[in-house]
A and B are shown apart, each in its own frame.
Chain A
Amino acid sequence: MDISKYIELVFTDYTLRTITLGTAILGAITGMLGSFAVLRKQSLLGDAISHAALPGIAIAFLITGAKDTNTLLIGALVSGLIGTFWIKNIVTKTHLKSDTALGLILSVFFGFGMLLLTFIQKQPNANQAGLDKYLFGQAATLVESDVWMMAIVTGICLMVMLTFWKEFKILLFDADYTKTLGFNTKTIDILITVFIVLAIVLGLQTVGVVLMSAMLLAPAAAARQWTNSLAKMVFLAAVFGAFSGVFGTAISASQNNLSTGPVIVLVASVFVGFSFIFSPSRGLLFKQIRVIKNRRDLELHKTLAFMYHIAETHENTSHPHKIKLLNNFHGYTKSTLQKLVDKNYVKINGSMWSLTETGFETAANLYTKQETEDE
């Protein structure tokens, strides 16, 4: 199936429309909440939570024998929350650091989950369980009720976020200060954490436990590069997330035996790479260009400052001096001199140069500016 045919199908085919809508909503909510996770420096917590959710899915299946998504996801939610709680407890009560606690819970819960999964596979009713899809995600298994579920959770989440926007923002920036203003920071904190866990659990079916954390981080990390406003960042992250979801699903659906998770993550990673390089204000490309330009400006300014010192000694600041004098100066080249002439800072007459009035003023300003900056 090629892409154009796929796009046509999205509008005509019911199943495809459901899946596309589902991944778009999922991308939006994870991007949105991921912004909070990234700004709270809890990037890797998502990774731990999603892995920790696996045994919950398996246990929910073992207990109820149901393959109903919502039941399994409640199991995931419970074990994800237990994992989160345990991580916090390890960090506060022992001298183990957060990275150890994260890695430990992540791998141990996942290992336990795999033990249960392989155990379930040996059971007689295992074939219908389809629990494998929770490893790397299978968007194709999304049905309308799943999408409704996502939409409702996203709606609630959006409402809460808009209501408590001010509180979220100030807590993310400066928690201690928030406390002194009389806000109950614990409540806000729990609210944010619960929503992040919810978003992760929602994504397990589509993206899978192994790669879910990237869905939280990548859109947010990309969005951060394009704006300096929290509101715009959250919005952009939601857009990037939604696009990653839709593109990823489209690509994986048009290929054979490709799980959606890895493809969505790869699309999101492309967004990140592009943003890192090409963002106008923070991107590496423009930063490099600015560095080069600054270095050139600096050389020019240094030469001008040097000329200024010579010109200063003379009563008439536009008095001509020999070009030879400049040869003692380290940063001087013929091209810098030519540039200064182009800028109308300097006049050249044969082997003599003189500062113009604008040149003298600019140099004088530079000099005082430099002095205040040095302080």
Chain B
Amino acid sequence: MRNESKEDIKPSTASERVFAVKVDDLTVAYNYKPVLWDIDLEIPEGVLMAIVGPNGAGKSTLIKSILGILKPIAGSVTIYGKPYEKQRRLVAYVPQKGSVDWDFPTTALDVVMMGTYGSLGWIKRPGQKEKKASLEALEKVGMLPFKNRQISQLSGGQQQRIFLARALVQNASIYFMDEPFQGVDATTEIAIINILKELRRAGKTVIVVHHDLQTVPEYFDWVTFLNVKKIATGPVKDIFNDDNLTKTYGINYQVSIQE
């Protein structure tokens, strides 16, 4: 509501432009333990962004608080200029693979169909339209032949692809992914990054919690360094340097990874 007054001013100048995701003064703490402090973050539309930082830097927490899974103690999040709650449909989420029980009695297709539940709302069941969309998403991630497999019978990489397909089926504008390359094989990693790049070409915004610093320049065009505070954010070619890496990972960060 507070943001509505802002909305009346049309975005005219570059500084007033509407960001895909805008985070203001976000602070999250678990009891004593501060996890994120006063994060300001503006993510322009159409970037493929990595969030990097050491373990415990609050990368997953940042995504989860943006998505309202965790409750921040201060701060606000807007999606295309409106509060997140009103813009849920524009956002898709790929959680960490380890966050669910893969022995759950369900099939790959079923999991992907869950991506349609949000637009269906309460009570309404998915129909032919939803099934078709889910099959297309499965096809896109190369998992169509496995559609009736029980999910525990899939490899780690295949499970990750299923999760990606579930997000694709939401047909969102902004994709949040929590470590999608964790424990997947090389083929899947390439397949996933190709899909992400394709999403970017289609004008979507993709935000990825990422671990492997080596691949940042190759995969992403935008990067945010995070360690409790935001260290830096911007285009990879401008800010992905030893200086920021040292600031993020500590004084003794020696490895120079830029070619």
What residues of chain A have their CB less than 8 Å away from a CB belonging to chain B?
39, 41, 163-167, 169-170, 172-174, 176-183, 224, 227-230, 232-233, 372, 375
Given contacts A166-B124, A177-B95, 17 further A-B contacts (CB under 8 A): A39-B104, A164-B122, A169-B114, A173-B100, A176-B95, A181-B88, A181-B117, A182-B88, A182-B118, A182-B121, A183-B117, A228-B105, A229-B106, A230-B105, A232-B105, A375-B186, A375-B187
- Closest CB pairs A-B (n = 4): A181-B118, A228-B150, A180-B93, A182-B88
Interface presence of B64 (CB below 8 A): yes
Interface presence of B35 (CB below 8 A): no
Chain A residues positioned under 8 Å from B106 (CB to CB): 169, 173, 228-230
Q: Are A174 and B122 in contact (CB under 8 A)?
A: no
Chain B residues positioned under 8 Å from A173 (CB to CB): 100-101, 104, 106, 111, 114
Q: Are B104 and A166 in contact (CB under 8 A)?
A: no
Q: With the chains together, A164 CA to B120 CA distance in Å? A: 12
Contacting residues of chain B (77-102) with chain A, CB-CB under 8 angstroms: 88, 91, 93, 95, 99-101
Q: With the chains together, A325 CA to B17 CA distance in Å? A: 75
Interface presence of B9 (CB below 8 A): no
- How far in angstroms is the closest Cβ of chain A from B26? 17
Q: With the chains together, A39 CA to B105 CA distance in Å? A: 9
- How far in angstroms is the closest Cβ of chain A from B144? 18
Chain A residues positioned under 8 Å from B150 (CB to CB): 228
Interface presence of B11 (CB below 8 A): no
Q: With the chains together, A372 CA to B88 CA distance in Å? A: 39
Q: Are A176 and B107 in contact (CB under 8 A)?
A: no
Q: Are B123 and A163 in contact (CB under 8 A)?
A: yes
Residue interface bits B139-176, CB-to-A below 8 A is 1, else 0: 00000000000100000000000000010000000000
Nearest B residue to A234 via CB reads B105
A178, A181, A230 pick with most chain B CB within 10 angstroms: A181
Interface presence of B69 (CB below 8 A): yes
Chain B residues positioned under 8 Å from A166 (CB to CB): 117, 120, 123-126
Kindly identify which residue among A41, A164, A165, A174 contacts B99, using a CB–CB cutoff of 8 Å.
A174
Interface presence of B232 (CB below 8 A): no
Chain A residues positioned under 8 Å from B69 (CB to CB): 176, 179-180
Q: Are A183 and B100 in contact (CB under 8 A)?
A: no
- How far in angstroms is the closest Cβ of chain A from B109? 11
Interface presence of B183 (CB below 8 A): no
Q: With the chains together, A232 CA to B95 CA distance in Å? A: 27
Nearest A residue to B188 via CB reads A375
Kindly identify which residue among A170, A176, A224, A227 contacts B114, using a CB–CB cutoff of 8 Å.
A170
Interface presence of B250 (CB below 8 A): no
If A173-B111, A176-B69, A179-B69 touch, whether A164 touches B104 (CB-CB below 8 Å) is no
List 29 A–B pairs whose Cβ atoms lie within 8 Å, in order of A's numbering. A39-B104, A39-B105, A164-B122, A164-B123, A166-B117, A167-B117, A167-B122, A172-B104, A173-B101, A173-B104, A173-B106, A173-B114, A174-B100, A174-B114, A176-B95, A176-B99, A177-B93, A177-B166, A179-B67, A180-B93, A181-B117, A182-B88, A183-B122, A224-B105, A228-B105, A229-B105, A229-B106, A229-B107, A230-B104
Nearest A residue to B102 via CB reads A173
Kindly identify which residue among A182, A183, A375 contacts B185, using a CB–CB cutoff of 8 Å.
A375
Interface size class of B (residues with CB under 8 A): 20 to 34
Q: With the chains together, A173 CA to B185 CA distance in Å? A: 24
Q: Are A179 and B105 in contact (CB under 8 A)?
A: no
Q: Are B105 and A227 in contact (CB under 8 A)?
A: yes
Chain A residues positioned under 8 Å from B187 (CB to CB): 372, 375
Nearest A residue to B166 via CB reads A177
Chain B residues positioned under 8 Å from A227 (CB to CB): 105
Interface presence of B68 (CB below 8 A): yes
Q: With the chains together, A178 CA to B120 CA distance in Å? A: 13
Q: With the chains together, A177 CA to B100 CA distance in Å? A: 10
Nearest B residue to A181 via CB reads B118
If A164-B123, A174-B99 touch, whether A180 touches B67 (CB-CB below 8 Å) is yes
Kindly identify which residue among A163, A170, A233 contacts B117, using a CB–CB cutoff of 8 Å.
A170
Q: With the chains together, A166 CA to B105 CA distance in Å? A: 14
Nearest B residue to A281 via CB reads B150
Q: With the chains together, A167 CA to B114 CA distance in Å? A: 10
Nearest B residue to A184 via CB reads B122
Q: With the chains together, A165 CA to B101 CA distance in Å? A: 19
Chain A residues positioned under 8 Å from B101 (CB to CB): 39, 41, 173
Residue interface bits B230-246, CB-to-A below 8 A is 1, else 0: 00000000000000000
- How far in angstroms is the closest Cβ of chain A from B163? 9
Nearest A residue to B91 via CB reads A180
Q: With the chains together, A375 CA to B64 CA distance in Å? A: 32
Chain A residues positioned under 8 Å from B126 (CB to CB): 166
Nearest B residue to A228 via CB reads B150
Chain B residues positioned under 8 Å from A174 (CB to CB): 95, 99-100, 114
- How far in angstroms is the closest Cβ of chain A from B94? 9
Q: With the chains together, A232 CA to B105 CA distance in Å? A: 9
Chain B residues positioned under 8 Å from A180 (CB to CB): 67-69, 88, 91, 93, 118
Q: With the chains together, A57 CA to B88 CA distance in Å? A: 47
